[in-house]
Structure 1
């Protein structure tokens, strides 16, 4: 199973300011985002969304939400590995894209998002 870094995601009450800072420092630009049922924005370098911002008005400070990796391994294989690990997880799908998201709770509070195709 081979993994590739996909993106970092942040929770922020002020997505606009975060976007402006990433643009000024790294040259990232706002781009297409699937129709998730919560507000946010994706910030791109070329064709790749490196930073996802989840807009949460309850957050006073911007905080890391999760780190995402992707694989070409089928989602069911990845899910079985996660189940075998015994770590807690949640499943979701990217709307309209056929990508399964497996959110794994790592010790210490870190969350990994493992993305795989159905």
Structure 2
């Protein structure tokens, strides 16, 4: 099993901010999206549409939480991502798991979703 995509629903103003965040912070690119009934975007990493953004007039309210804690991605070049996040004034938390030789960054997107990015074989100095 592997991650196919995540879907984020919000009004278009928020979706535009979410799209900009994922493109600027993680280098995703807006790409092909089939014709569907609602407006939105598909954001790609290489040839995979990892994040679907969908317009919703009845998007989940902040007071209504589900059980999803976070979404995790794997990437490379942790220092480059940290530079981009700093330029964007986005706060992050880092951790290192010695046994796995794995650096992790944790950030929140503009609608409050927690994102974990794993960097196997990389360690911050």
TM-score (norm 1): 0.46
More strand per residue: 1
TM-score (norm 2): 0.44
